[in-house]
Structure 1
Amino acid sequence: MRSPIDDYLHQVLRDCRDDDAGDVMSGNRELERADPTSFGIALATVDGTVYTAGDADHEFSMQSIAKLPAYALALQDRGLDGVLDRVDTEPSGDAFNEISLEAETGRPRNALINAGAIAVHGMLDGDGATERVDRIVDLVSTLAGRKVSVDSEVHSSELASDDHNTALAYLLRSAGKLDYEPDEVVDGYAAQCAIKVSCRDLAVMGSILANGGLSTTTDDERLLDGRITRHLLSVMATCGMYDGSGSWMARVGIPAKSGVSGAILGVLPGQVGVAVWSPRLDEQGNSVRGVAVFERLSRDMELHMMHVAPSGLPALRSVEERDGTTVVEVQGDVRFAGAEIIATRACEGFSTGRVILDLTHVRVMDDAARGLLREVASRLEDDHDVRIEDPNELMDSGPDDRDTRNREK
C-alpha cells in the first residue's frame, strides 16, 4: 500500500508551486544561479520514516541553517554558561545581518543572527578554520546519516561578498567576544554556510532533534546531548525566523530555521522534522513557498506545537493475528504522529484477508489523525476486508478532539 502521506505531500507541492512571489538571493554569484522553479519537501518522523516530494534530493548550501550544528558544538565545547557569556538568547527584532549587540555587554542578541553565529564559530575548539569546519561537517554528516561536504565554489563566493560579516567580526573582536583572528573566523563561517545538503538530509536532521538527540534508525543511539537539543529548539522557536519569529510561532507553531538558499528546517518535538527548499525569498529572507508549505502542514496536519496531546501513550497498542484476522489496536490520544505510525505499519502489509482497526481504547482523536486513518482504511480495502471498531464514534465527523469521557456525561 502506498502511504497517503506521500500523496498528500505531492498535493501540497502542486498547490504551492504556482506561488512565484519573491526573488532569488542577490549579492552572491552562486546563489544567484539557483533555478527559481526548484521546489522540494521532505518529512521525517521520529520512527525513521522519510516522505518526500519534488526536488527533495537536490543539493544546496545550508547557509544560515548551518548555524544550528555550529551552535551545538559551541555548547558542547564551552558549556551553556560559557556560550551565554558571549552570545545571548533574546530575539533581536532585526534582520539577520544587522548589528545587534547589547550596549552593556557587547554580546550579540542570539546565535542565529550573523553577528551571533560569527561569535559562535569563534568559540569552537579546533586548530584553525579548517579543523573547526571539519567538525561541523562531521556533525551534519552524523545527523543526516550520510557524508556531506563543503561546496568550494559557494565558499569562494561567500568570501567575495563577506565585507559586512568581516566588519561584524572585527566589531566582536573589539568587544572582547572573539578570540581568533576575525578574517580566519569569517573564512570558517563562510565555509560552514557552504555545506551541501538536501531537503531529505535536513528533515532527517530535524527528526533527530525532534527525538531529543537520539537516532531514529538505530536503537536509541545518542547523537546529540539532550540538553543541547532542548536549547537549540528553544532558540529556534524564539529567534529562528529572524524578525518574523513571533508571527511564525503564532501562525505556524513549529520551531524553525531558515537560510537564504531557500531552505527552511522545522522541528516539532516528539513528532517530525520537516524541510522545504525553494529559492525565491520574501523580504525577511525566508523561502516564499517554504513558508506557504509550513503554514499548510501546520493547518492540515495540526502540527502546531501548542496542539498537545494530554497523555503520552503510544498510539499503536498491538498488532495480532486472531483466527485469520489481523487486529490493529489503537489507544490513547491520537494525533498525526500516532496515525502516521499506524499508516507505516499498514504499508508493510498484513498476511490475512481480514483486518480490524480497533479504536476501543482511543480516548481522543483530532481531525488530522481521523482523516489519515480513514485514508489508510480505504486503501487497505483494495486487498483486505476491513472493519473499523469504533464504539465511541471517534471516526465520525464532528468537533476536534472528541473526548470519550465527555460522551459519558
Structure 2
Amino acid sequence: MKDDVIGDYLRELLKKLQDNSEGEVAAYIPELAAADPEPFAVAFCTNEGQVYAEGLREGDAEREFTIQSLSKPFAYALALKEEGLEEVARFVGVEPSGEAFNELSLDKATKRPMNPMINAGAITVNQLINGEESSVEDRVNKILEFFSDLAGRQLRIDSDTCDSELETSDRNMSLAYMLRSYGMIQDSAEDAIVSYVKQCSIMVTVSDLAMMAATLANGGVQPRTHKQVCSRRVAIQVQAVMASAGMYNAAGRWMASVGLPAKSGVSGGIIGTLPGRLGIAAFSPKLDEAGNSVRAKRVFEYLDRDMGLHLMAPEKQGRVAVRSISTVEDDQTSGGSQGKRTVIRLQGDIDFNACEKIWRTIQEHDFESENVTVDLEKVDEVNSVGKRMIGEFRDRLVRNGMKIEIVDPDEVLS
C-alpha cells in the first residue's frame, strides 16, 4: 500500500500560500537579482532520515540554489568541532546583535563580532576552519566535505554565483579589513572574502537543507548515514545560537511566534530544527526587509499552528508509537481472509513524529484482511496534528477498501 499523507499536507500548505507575492529578490548580488522569484518548496527530515519534500510547481523541490547565509550555523559547527568552544569564543561571541546581517558591528569591549550568524562573525568563523595557515582552496574543500557529510551527498560550488557575489562584495571586504585590524582574522582581507563567498555559493536543495538541519536536531548524527558528523555538544551550541540570532534583527519576533532555532539566507531559504525530532526547510526567493523569505517564513508559522512546534509549548513527544500489528481470527466474520482481522495497537503520546512512523509502518505492512482495528487503549494523549493525521489515515484506508474500527476507550481522539 503506497499513499502520501504527509506529502499531501505539504502540497496543501504550499497552495494556501501560493498567492502571497510580497517581498523582493535579493538585488545586491546580480545572480540572485536575476533569479526566478516563483519557486516554492518545503521539506521535512525526521530523526530516522525519512525525507518528505514538495514543491508548488514541478521541479521546485529538486531545484538547487546557493546556500548563502544558511551556511553560517554549519560553518560554526565545523569551527567548534575543530577548535572547541573556548577557542572559538575568543574570536566570536554568542549574543544577539539586534542588527541587520551586514552591519559593521563588533563588541565594544572585546572587538569580537557579536555572534556567528551575522556576516562579521561568519567571516571570522570561516577563517578559523582548517587553521590560520590554511590556503583558501584547502579551507573551502574542508567546508565542502563537512557540508556534504551533513547533507548525505556530495555538494558542489556554483562558480557563476561566486564570481557575481565577489564583484559586489565591497561591504564584506570592509568587514574583513575591520576584523583584520583588530586581529580577529590573520589572512588577507581578499582571501578571507573569497573563502567566505565560496562557502556561501555551495548549492543545495530543500531536501539537503532539511537533512542538514535534522543532523543538528539529531545531536550531530546524520539521520540517514548514521555518521557522527559533529558532537552532541556542538549541535546544542549551534542550535542555541540559531535560536537567539539566526533571524538577525527579526530573531526575537521569530522566537516568540514560531519558537524554533532557525536560520535564513538571502537566496530565499529558511531552516529550522525541532531538537530530537525534525529538520525543516522552506524555500522561496522573495525577501522581506530583514532579508528573510516571506513565503518560507509563513510556511513555518503555519507548521507551528498546525503541529505545535514551538519549543515553549508543553507538547509531549511520541516515540515508539506502534506497539504491535497482528492478525487475529475475527469472530464477526467467517471463511477465508474475511475470517481474519488486522489489529494495530498504538501506545504513548501521539504527535507528528509518532504519526509519521505509524503511517510508514501501515504502508509497509502486508494486510491479510480488509478488516482493521486501530486500538488506542494504551495511548495517553493525542495532540491536534495527531488527531488530524489519524483521521486522515482512517479515511485513506477506507478509500482503499478497508473496514476500519477504532477502539478508543479513554476518548483520546475526542
Contact 1:309 1:334 in 2 (8 A): no
The structural deviation recorded for 1:395 is: 1.2
The alpha carbon displacement at 1:310 in A equals 4.4
Q: Which runs of 5+ in 1 are unaligned?
A: 397-409
Contact 2:152 2:222 (C-alpha < 8 Å) held by counterparts = no
The Cα offsets for residues 40-77 of structure 1, whole Å up to 9 and x where unpaired, read as: 11111112221121111100000001112211111012
Residue 117 of structure 2: SS of its match in structure 1?
coil
- The CA deviation string for residues 315-348 of structure 1, in whole angstroms up to 9 with x for no partner, is 2222333343332222112211111211222222
For residues 311 and 339 of structure 1, the distance between their equivalents in structure 2, rounded to whole angstroms, comes to 11
Separation (CA, whole Å) in 1 of partners of 2:317 and 2:71: 34
Which one of 210, 213, 217 corresponds to residue 220 of structure 2? 213
Matched, 1:271 2:272: no
- Aligned equivalents of 1:349, 1:330: Cα separation in 2: 15
What does residue 380 of structure 2 align with? 363
1:384 to 392, 402, 407: 402
The answer to whether structure 1 residue 259 and structure 2 residue 265 are counterparts is: yes
Paired residue for 1:72? 77
Match in the other structure for 1:18 = 19
For 1:44-83, list aligned pairs within 5 A: 44-54=45-55, 55-83=60-88
Q: 2:360 aligns with which of 334, 341, 344?
A: 344
Contact 1:278 1:290 in 2 (8 A): yes
CA distance in 1, matches of 2:292, 2:182: 30
Q: 2:119 aligns with which of 104, 114, 123?
A: 114
Runs of 5+ in structure 2 lacking a partner? 330-339
Deviates more, 1:305-314 or 1:209-218: 305-314
1:99 to 101, 104, 113: 104
1: CA distance, partners of 2:325 / 2:311: 29
TM-score under structure 2 length normalisation = 0.92
TM norm structure 1: 0.93
CA-to-aligned-CA distance 1:209-249 (integer Å, 9 cap, x gap): 2211123224x432221111111111111110001111101
Q: Does 1:332 align with 2:336?
A: no
CA distance in 2, matches of 1:311, 1:208: 18
SS at match of 1:394: coil
- Between 1:125-134 and 1:270-279, the stretch displaced more is 125-134
1:173-218 Cα deviation digits (max 9, x unpaired)? 1112112222111110000000000111101112222211123224
Distance 1:318 1:129 in 2: 55
Measured against aligned partners, the alpha-carbon deviations of 1:264-301 in whole angstroms (never above 9, x if no partner) come to 01111122111111110000000010011110111011
Structure 2 residue aligned with 1:135: 142
Please give the secondary structure, in 1, of the residue aligned with 2:254.
Answer: helix
CA displacement, residues 344-386 of structure 1 (integer Å, 9 cap, x when unaligned): 2222243221222111111111111111111011111223222
Asked whether the equivalents of residues 214 and 224 of structure 1 are also in contact (C-alpha less than 8 Å), the reply is yes
Residue number in structure 2 paired with 1:245: 251
Residues 318 and 212 (structure 1), Cα distance of their counterparts in 2 relative to 1, 3 Å cut: farther
Letter of the aligned partner of 1:194 in structure 2?
S
Please state how far the C-alpha of 1:311 moved relative to its aligned partner.
6.5
Look up the SS of the partner of 2:30 in the other structure.
Answer: coil
Q: Between 319-328 and 361-370, report the one with greater CA deviation.
A: 319-328
Instruction: Find runs of 4+ consecutive structure 1 residues off by over 6 angstroms.
Output: none
In the alignment, the residues of structure 2 paired with residue 314 and residue 308 of structure 1 have an alpha-carbon distance, to the nearest angstrom, of: 19
**Bigger shift: residues 300-309 or 72-81:** 300-309
CA distance in 2, matches of 1:269, 1:318: 27
Over aligned residues, Cα RMSD in angstroms? 1.4
Query: How do residues 146-295 of structure 1 correspond to structure 2 at under 5 angstroms?
Result: 146-218=153-225, 220-295=226-301
In structure 2, distance between residues paired with 1:313 and 1:292: 28
Number of residue equivalences:
395
Q: Retained in 2: the 8 A contact 1:3–1:344?
A: no
> Sequence identity of aligned pairs in percent?
43
Name the SS of the counterpart of 1:110 in structure 2.
Answer: coil
